[in-house]
């Protein structure tokens, strides 16, 4: 029976690792090792909840036992890990997909711990399809939030940039403009929170800025 348990945690670790590799490739907050360990630990907890108390139950036959109790606490524990991954930064929520991926990875580990390999494998395939295929679609048709800082020697240039952004259907959530005077050179620096299409968003911004002399893109996040 021990060999069967080893196979269960091994399969869980492999499936969790596959999801982790995708997250690692995308340079997300939680990568291969985190997903590997979450799936492995979840599988082990499931095995423990099902078979770890056979001896006391044999001795104390009147003792009641709920094998799902430990498994349910795994879900609670993953909630704490997921909360640590999610970050609210500059009006943008980051890490939500990775946190959801960890949650599903824990479920895959629990499923492997219960010996349901086919169900766990099918779920892993669906997760990878969701992360990769939808990523390609979103890159082409989706939108993203970015923060940019533009410097210019003229306020008129800033106004012109806003007009072209509106023409390109770029939404400006907020902006903050400051005057700078460095070594006698007077410039205006504008920090903007934008929402725009993911497809070639860098090219579009550079094209807009290049139309105005003395204007530069200082930073983009």
Both tokens of 138, joined, read: 């979103």
- Provide the domain count of the chain: 2
Alpha carbon distance 88, 72 (integer Å): 28
Q: Which of 119, 141, 163 corresponds to the end of one domain?
A: 141
Whether residues 117 and 56 share a domain: the answer is yes
Residue-level pLDDT at 12:
93
pLDDT band at 188 (very low <50, low <70, confident <90, very high): confident
Whether residues 104 and 161 share a domain: the answer is no
Whether residues 53 and 95 share a domain: the answer is yes
Q: Which of 141, 156, 181 corresponds to the end of one domain?
A: 141
Quick: pLDDT tens for 53-110. Answer: 666 555 656 556 666 677 778 878 888 787 777 776 655 667 788 888 889 999 999 9
Tell me which residue range forms the domain holding 207. 143-220
Cα 138 to its chain centre, rounded Å, is 14
Alpha carbon distance 57, 51 (integer Å): 10
Whether residues 163 and 132 share a domain: the answer is no
Whether residues 166 and 198 share a domain: the answer is yes
Residue-level pLDDT at 62:
59
Whether residues 76 and 161 share a domain: the answer is no
Whether residues 7 and 105 share a domain: the answer is yes
Q: Which of 126, 141, 156 corresponds to the end of one domain?
A: 141
Whether residues 164 and 132 share a domain: the answer is no
Quick: pLDDT tens for 28-63. Answer: 777 889 899 999 999 998 888 877 666 655 565 655
2 pLDDT exceeds 70? yes
CA angle 140, 145, 151 (to 5 degrees): 115
Cα distances from 37 to residues 32, 44, 47, 71, 114, in angstroms, run 9, 10, 15, 16, 17
Quick: pLDDT tens for 3-31. Answer: 888 999 999 999 999 998 888 887 777 78
Quick: pLDDT tens for 115-138. Answer: 899 999 999 999 998 888 877 777
Whether residues 6 and 109 share a domain: the answer is yes
* Contact (CB, 8 A) for 39 and 109: yes
| Model confidence, pTM | 0.68
Quick: pLDDT tens for 156-187. Answer: 888 888 888 888 778 887 788 888 777 767 78
Alpha carbon distance 165, 100 (integer Å): 34
Residue-level pLDDT at 7:
92
Kind and range of the H or E run holding 87: strand 87-89
Whether residues 100 and 203 share a domain: the answer is no
What CATH number is attached to the domain comprising 199?
3.30.70.260
Whether residues 203 and 99 share a domain: the answer is no
pLDDT band at 211 (very low <50, low <70, confident <90, very high): confident
152 pLDDT exceeds 80? yes
141 pLDDT exceeds 60? yes
Whether residues 13 and 103 share a domain: the answer is yes
Residue-level pLDDT at 210:
82
């Amino acid at each position: 029976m021990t060999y069967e348990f080893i196979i269960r945690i091994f399969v869980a670790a492999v499936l969790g690792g596959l999801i982790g590799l995708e997250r690692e490739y995308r340079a997300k907050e939680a990568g291969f090792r985190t997903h590997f360990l979450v799936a492995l630990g979840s599988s082990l907890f499931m095995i423990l909840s099902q078979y770890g108390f056979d001896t006391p139950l044999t001795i104390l036959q009147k003792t009641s036992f709920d094998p799902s109790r430990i498994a349910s606490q795994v879900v609670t524990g993953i909630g704490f890990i997921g909360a640590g991954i999610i970050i609210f930064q500059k009006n943008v929520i980051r890490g939500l997909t990775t946190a959801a991926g960890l949650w599903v990875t824990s479920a895959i580990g629990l499923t492997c711990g219960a010996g349901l390999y086919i169900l766990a494998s099918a779920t892993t395939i669906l997760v990878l399809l969701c992360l990769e295929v939808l990523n390609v679609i979103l890159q082409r048709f989706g939108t993203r939030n970015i923060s940019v800082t533009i410097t210019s020697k003229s306020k008129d240039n800033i106004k012109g940039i806003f007009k072209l952004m509106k023409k390109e259907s770029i939404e400006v959530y907020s902006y903050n403009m400051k005057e700078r005077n460095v070594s006698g050179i007077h410039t205006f620096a504008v920090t903007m929170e934008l929402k725009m299409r993911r497809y070639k968003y860098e090219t579009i911004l550079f094209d807009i800025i290049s139309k105005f002399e003395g204007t530069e893109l200082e930073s983009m996040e």
